[in-house]
């Protein structure tokens, strides 16, 4: 039996992330990705009696795991983090002192065969982070066109044999729905002509389908401006990404909003009067230590970026 108690999750950059939040004992914080609560527990340990932590997760297993935290300062919201602004409004929270986002798939999700996220097990081809909503990968593959599959595998998996993979999936599904991870892995393995050292030929395709079916990049892009808009002056935004596509979104967002707003060319204005950016970058990109990678090899691709909210107005691209 697989249960939340049997699937171990090692929190990546645990102390570094909590330190980056620069926690105020009486502050209000958001853990946008509860997972199995590693970061949440560390944040609660740093908060005083009047502090508050609001955690988000769309995974029912993570929601179940959160029941182990019996702390009146803690609230768990069963929603994707793109619902951050709406849910904070519902809780009467106007501003927060920090937002932590540890994005991507968790070890329990990868290690639970029933989730269908890994080709290490032959299991139902699901891949949804929230198994109570939406469409499983098997359902999407049954109706998607070759062009749609090609685009997903190429854009989200950076797979150079994306078209060959899509054609192979199309041929295989003519004999019935590709219903299991084992079936899909076998199909992809035959279509990918060269193997990257130490990597299964289906790795990029599985990653692409998981990112797509969960709208992971879209969720991230929707949430970053909401997080900044809710930060009080001096509040910290801390984001840990495990994939280059995610980290690219975070890097560009923080970079763009740590620069002064663009002004019309030729406008006579003193440097001291230039509008300030909404964010200040805090240090550079941080990666796990050699010791952490040795103890937890899955941490090796993690990149953490930190920014602090200034007193300047924040204008998102959607508002500009």
The pLDDT tens digits for 98-141 are 999 999 777 667 667 677 677 888 999 999 999 999 999 999 99
Can you tell me the mean pLDDT for 241-254? Answer: 95
Q: Are residues 209 and 220 part of one domain?
A: no
Of the chain, the percentage scoring pLDDT greater than 90 comes to 76
Q: How many CB atoms lie within 10 A of CB 157?
A: 23
Instruction: Give the pTM.
Output: 0.90
Q: Which structure tokens are listed for 16?
A: 């570094």
Whether 245 and 269 share a structural domain: yes
Residue 28 pLDDT more than 80?
yes
Whether 191 and 259 share a structural domain: no
C-alpha to C-alpha distance for 66 and 64, rounded to whole angstroms: 5
**Could you tell me if residue 224 is inside a domain?**
yes
101 and 20 in one domain? Answer: yes
Are 195 and 260 found together in one domain?
no
132-146, 160-174, 259-273, 302-316, range with the lowest pLDDT: 259-273
Q: Are residues 81 and 98 in the same domain?
A: yes
**Residues marked as binding for S-adenosyl-L-methionine?**
37-39, 57, 81, 102, 109
Average pLDDT, the chain: 90
Task: Tell whether 22 and 168 lie within a shared domain.
Answer: no
Check pLDDT > 60 for residue 271. no
The token pair at 211 is 């990112």
**Mean pLDDT confidence for 6-16:** 75
CATH number for the domain that contains residue 148: 1.10.150.170
Residue 319: inside a domain: no
Q: Are 214 and 140 in contact (CB under 8 A)?
A: no
Containing structural domain, residue 221: 14-107+216-309
Q: How many CB atoms lie within 10 A of CB 250?
A: 23
Q: SS3 of 96, please?
A: strand
Give how many domains the chain has, as a whole number: 2
Is residue 113 one of the residues assigned to a domain?
Answer: no
In a shared domain, residues 21 and 97: yes
Cα angle: 52, vertex 25, 232; to 5 degrees: 70
* Phi, psi dihedrals of residue 150, rounded to the nearest 5°: -60, -50
**Binding residue numbers:** 37-39, 57, 81, 102, 109
In a domain, 4, yes or no: no
Specify the residue for token string 């508002």.
319
């Amino acid at each position: 039996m697989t249960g939340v108690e049997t699937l171990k999750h090692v929190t990546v950059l645990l102390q570094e992330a909590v330190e980056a939040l620069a926690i105020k004992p009486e502050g209000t914080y958001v853990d946008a990705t509860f997972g199995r609560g590693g970061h949440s527990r560390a944040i609660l340990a740093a908060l005083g009696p009047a502090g508050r932590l609001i955690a988000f997760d769309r995974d029912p297993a993570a929601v179940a795991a959160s029941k182990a935290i019996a702390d009146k300062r803690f609230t768990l919201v069963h929603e994707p983090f793109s619902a951050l602004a709406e849910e904070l409004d519902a809780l009467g929270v106007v501003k927060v002192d920090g937002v932590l986002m540890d994005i991507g798939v968790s070890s329990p999700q990868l290690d639970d065969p029933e989730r269908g996220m890994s080709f290490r097990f032959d299991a139902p081809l699901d891949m949804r982070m929230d198994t109570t909503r939406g469409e499983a990968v098997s359902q999407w593959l049954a109706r998607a066109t070759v062009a749609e599959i090609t685009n997903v595998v190429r854009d989200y998996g950076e797979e150079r044999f994306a078209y060959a993979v899509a054609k192979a999936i199309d041929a295989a599904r003519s004999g019935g729905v590709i219903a299991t991870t084992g079936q899909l892995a076998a199909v992809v393995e035959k279509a990918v002509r060269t193997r990257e050292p130490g990597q299964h030929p289906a790795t990029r395709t599985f990653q692409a389908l998981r990112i797509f079916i969960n709208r992971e990049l879209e969720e991230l892009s929707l949430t970053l401006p909401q997080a900044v808009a809710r930060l009080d002056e001096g509040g910290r935004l801390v984001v840990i990404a495990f994939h280059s596509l995610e980290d690219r979104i975070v890097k560009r967002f923080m970079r763009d909003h740590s620069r002064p707003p663009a002004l019309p060319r030729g406008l006579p204005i003193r440097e001291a009067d230039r509008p300030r950016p909404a964010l200040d970058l805090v240090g550079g990109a941080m990666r796990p230590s050699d010791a952490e990678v040795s103890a937890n090899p899955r941490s090796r691709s993690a990149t953490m970026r930190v920014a602090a909210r200034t007193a300047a107005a924040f204008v998102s691209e959607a508002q500009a």
